[in-house]
């Protein structure tokens, strides 16, 4: 079994910033946010060994709008997380990026920092609730009682294919449903944790692939994504999104520990940028990992009642709302609830 205690405790802080000018970041803008943070904190070695982030926002922002994201620090990253927090509280005076084409620049000020686990306001990392090995065990015990589990991707996942079928460049990664099975997924969860442990301990057990057929459904798709490096070269960074359904009856506790912890660590390539994040869910218990909701969302904008009514008029041929009828009004209200809760 992997010595997970060397990765714990994890500390997680939710940062709320406020825009002082408009900004339109991409739908998945984790890379832009990470690059901005790295520029803000200066030349810090081994950042990727300790810090990752979750960026749920997907809106368009104007002056005065709030923006939230969460930073996770693995064991040993407490001082680095405090340094990041200190730099954020000094915004915007310590930012040199002023290009208006950039979504994150000198257009943000610090609003507050909260403990992800108890929502209390904090000023220092030492105030954060530690997610310990005991906490991991307790969360895992909840999942041991479930015979089915949904795995929902929160950000694109770049999962490397087995060597026997691996191609070159972007063909190294799982891009289709036919390329995914439980063995590969389970291996990649293990690999992500093992990679971090190798920075901390000398002896990390080798992986043993589990060929158990647990994947019941995979509704996944590949999205193309790219960024430009310092020399102006375009670099691909696409990944998988969607949802998986696992048959978890009699799944060993050891595997559950890895899957539960993987939610906080992320898996696959570009994990340190916030790629490869997922959340475990079930029909009975919902989810156990806390996650902040977006302060500003394109989904919420699209689901505004006036937007839904106008879309219905455009599609149905009605000239005005008086022709909708009570039944269609109720259908729109039901649709709005479904979209917001999906």
Same domain, 35 and 84: yes
pLDDT by residue (tens digit) across 60-77? 999 999 999 999 999 999
pLDDT in tens, 92-144: 999 989 999 999 999 999 999 999 999 999 999 999 999 999 999 999 999 99
Q: What is the pLDDT of residues 154-183, one digit of tens each?
A: 999 999 999 999 999 999 999 999 999 999
Confidence at residue 24, expressed as pLDDT on a 0 to 100 scale: 93
Domain closes at, from 101, 127, 153: 127
Quick one: pLDDT band at residue 295, thresholds 50, 70, 90? confident
Reported as a pLDDT band with limits 50, 70 and 90, residue 310 is low
pLDDT category at 284 given cuts 50, 70, 90 is confident
Identify whether 290 is part of a domain. Answer: no
Residues 69 and 100 placed together within one structural domain of the fold: yes
In a domain, 116, yes or no: yes
**Which segments within the chain are labelled E, that is strand?**
11-19, 51-54, 66-73, 108-115, 148-153, 215-223, 226-228, 234-236, 239-247, 278-281
Host domain of residue 315: 303-341
Segment among 7-11, 229-233, 249-253 with least mean pLDDT: 229-233
308 pLDDT above the threshold of 90: no
| 101 and 180 co-located in one domain | no
Residue 276 sits in the same domain as residue 310: no
Neighbours of 184 (CB within 10 A): 18
Mean of the per-residue pLDDT values for the chain?
A: 90
- 196 within domain boundaries: yes
Based on the domain organization, do 86 and 174 belong to the same domain? no
- Judge if 276 and 150 occupy the same domain: yes
Total domains in the fold of the chain = 3
Which of these, 120, 117, 121, 140, lies nearest to 130 by C-alpha position? 117
pLDDT band at 222 (very low <50, low <70, confident <90, very high): very high
Residue 311: pLDDT band with limits 50, 70, 90 = low
Q: What is the pLDDT of residue 185?
A: 98
**Quick one: average pLDDT of 32-40?**
96
Same domain, yes or no, for 36 and 117?
yes
The answer to the question of residue 268 being in a domain is: yes
Q: Are residues 81 and 9 in the same domain?
A: yes
CB contact burial 145-160 (16+ within 10 A = b; e otherwise):
ebeebbbebbbbbbbe
């Amino acid at each position: 079994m992997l010595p997970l205690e060397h990765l714990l405790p994890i500390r997680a802080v939710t940062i709320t910033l406020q825009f002082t000018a408009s900004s339109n970041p991409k739908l998945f803008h984790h890379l832009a946010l990470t690059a901005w943070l790295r520029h803000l904190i200066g030349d810090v070695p081994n950042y990727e060994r300790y810090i990752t982030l979750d960026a749920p926002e997907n809106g368009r922002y104007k002056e005065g709008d709030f923006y939230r994201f969460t930073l996770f620090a693995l064991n040993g990253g407490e001082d680095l997380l405090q340094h990041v927090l200190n730099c954020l509280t000094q915004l915007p005076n310590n930012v040199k990026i002023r290009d208006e084409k950039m979504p994150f620049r000198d257009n943000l000020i610090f609003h507050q920092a909260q403990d992800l686990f108890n929502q209390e306001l904090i000023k220092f990392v030492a105030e954060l609730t530690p997610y310990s090995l005991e906490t991991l065990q307790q969360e895992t015990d909840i999942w041991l009682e479930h015979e089915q589990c949904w795995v929902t991707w929160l950000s694109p996942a770049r999962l490397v294919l087995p060597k026997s079928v691996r191609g070159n460049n972007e063909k190294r990664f799982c891009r289709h449903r036919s390329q995914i099975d439980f063995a590969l997924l389970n291996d990649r969860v293990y690999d992500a944790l093992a990679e971090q442990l190798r920075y901390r301990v000398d002896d990390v057990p080798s992986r043993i692939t589990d060929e158990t057929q647990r994947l019941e459904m995979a509704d996944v798709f590949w999205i193309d994504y790219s960024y430009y490096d310092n020399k102006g070269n375009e670099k691909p960074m696409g990944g998988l999104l969607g949802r998986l359904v696992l048959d978890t009856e009699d799944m060993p506790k050891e595997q559950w520990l890895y899957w539960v912890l993987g939610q906080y660590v992320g898996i696959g390539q570009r994990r340190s940028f916030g790629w490869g994040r997922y959340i475990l869910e079930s029909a009975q218990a919902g989810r156990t990992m806390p996650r902040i909701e977006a302060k500003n969302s394109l989904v919420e904008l699209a689901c505004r009642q006036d937007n839904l009514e106008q879309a219905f008029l455009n599609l149905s041929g009605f000239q005005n709302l008086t022709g909708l009828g009570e039944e269609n009004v109720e259908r729109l209200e039901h649709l709005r609830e479904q979209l917001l809760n999906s």
